Amino acid sequence: MTPEGKILEIVKRRRVDFFGALPCDRNKKLYDAVLAGFRSVELSREEEGVGICAGALMAGARPAMLIQNSGLGNMVNALASMSKLYSFALPIFMSWRGMESETIPAQKWMGEYVPKIMKTMDIPYHEIRNLDDIDQIDETLDSVYEHNTIRGYLMEPAVWKGSDFEPEGVSATPAFKELDNFDTPLPEPELTRFELLEKISEALEGKAVACNLGIPCKELYKVCHQPSNFYMLGSMGMVTPVALGMALCSDKKVISIDGDGSMLMNPSTLATIARTAPKNLSVLCVDNGAYGSTGNQLTATSSWTDLAKVARGFGVENIVRTADPDEVASALDRDDGPLFIHAVCKAGNANVPNLTLTPEEIRTSVERFLRE
């Protein structure tokens, strides 16, 4: 049996049914086979994979990631401030670069640091060097989902040596596409984030709503608390990936309430949205031109960056740009997603109390809603 075949057999038998993946030259055959054989998302950045897998898990999937070890560096904050916080299960299969056979100098340091990072973060990991070591995956994979933990499988280049595995059904021919220009003018902001949320609260009812960290969560909690609200308690830039994972793995209508600062931190997730195109996803980007939660410091959208055009450029075709709450509310009822709603607002925060929910309560309640 080939190492790739053995790994695929194990993950199938252990009922992994969803992958977030970004390729490495050393695991490219496994990568192709995963795309061909599993429900999977080709990631733009590994960090979003942590969010997408979290959303998929809440919707009932058994997700895993397949990446290069350097991608762990892109995931550290999301793993700590989201996966650990909410106890989201996540097995991470990573090619382990930087070994003696390595020809790319840039791989050396991450190769050395990855085990140290995993140890520092209390993430158990396995060093997979040969066919027998792959048994460790079989022995431990179920426990990841049973105990809701993170676990790493570091696959050294030596593990693939001599393999004649050939994946089937892989096509990789680019078909470039030019999008039309987007030319809806930027409206004058009328409302603050809180005033907007108050006016659109009815349109949020009964939908899965993932909300950006900080004051937006508190305002949503005050205005429209419901069991299907996923409140991000940390992990800036991860709310839209979480919503994407939910939308891909459930039939429920999913709304991401994101912010301009957070969208600027992780805009490439818009490319992943365009690529996966879930009809049941709307991203409501509340653009107040500021990092509201930290005191309204100006973001790049205050003078330079146009997020509707950014979304368009990343390939999201359906875009609504407005300052009018009625237009936002009716856009939220559309079912021709993915939809990007660029809601232009005034900066400012309402004086609202803290959430009293625990991460566990938030997660359980949203899971129940998504899986019912």
Ligand X SMILES: Cc1ncc(C[n+]2csc(CCOP(=O)(O)OP(=O)(O)O)c2C)c(N)n1
Candidates 154-162, 242-250, 253-261, 357-365; binding stretch for ligand X (CB under 6 A): 253-261
3-state helix, strand, coil in the chain (%, to 5): 45, 20, 35
CB of 238 vs ligand X, minimal distance in Å:
9
Alpha carbon 345 to its chain's center? 25
Candidates 14-22, 128-136, 197-205, 284-292; binding stretch for ligand X (CB under 6 A): 284-292
DSSP 234-262: S-TT-HHHHHHHHHHH-SS-EEEEEEHHH
Among 40, 44, 69, 262, binds ligand X (CB under 6 A): 262
Q: Is 213 in the site for ligand X (CB under 6 A)?
A: yes
Strand partners, 152: 92, 125
CB of 152 vs ligand X, minimal distance in Å:
22
Among 221, 291, 314, 369, binds ligand X (CB under 6 A): 291
Candidates 84-92, 148-156, 173-181, 210-218; binding stretch for ligand X (CB under 6 A): 210-218
**What b/e string do you get for 108-143 counting C-beta neighbours within 10 Å, with b at 16 or more?**
eebbebbbebbeebebebbebbeeebbebbeebbee
Q: Is 269 in the site for ligand X (CB under 6 A)?
A: no
The helix/strand/coil state of 368 is helix
Q: Which residue is nearest to ligand X (CB)?
A: 259
CB of 310 vs ligand X, minimal distance in Å:
14
Residues with Cβ within 8 Å of residue 181, at least 6 apart in sequence:
312
Residues 90 to 109: which contact ligand X by CB under 6 A?
A: none
Among 51, 261, 325, 337, binds ligand X (CB under 6 A): 261
Nearer residue to ligand X within complex by CB, 267 or 338: 267
- For the record, the structure tokens of 271 come out as 């490319």
DSSP 117-164: HHHHTT--EEEE-STGGGHHHHHHHHHHHHTT-EEEEEE-GGGGTT--
Tell me the C-alpha distance between 302 and 188, whole Å: 12
Q: What is the contact mask toward ligand X in residues 229 to 248, using x (rule: CB under 6 A)? A: -------x------------
Q: How many CB atoms lie within 10 A of CB 364?
A: 14
Nearer residue to ligand X within complex by CB, 191 or 213: 213
Among 294, 300, 326, 361, binds ligand X (CB under 6 A): 294
Alpha carbon 346 to its chain's center? 27
Among 45, 84, 193, 363, binds ligand X (CB under 6 A): 193
Number of residues that bind ligand X (CB under 6 A): 20
Q: What is the contact mask toward ligand X in residues 73 to 92, using x (rule: CB under 6 A)? A: ----x---------------
CB of 227 vs ligand X, minimal distance in Å:
23
The residues of the shown chain that bind ligand X, judged by CB under 6 A, are 77, 193, 212-216, 236, 259-262, 286, 288, 290-294, 299
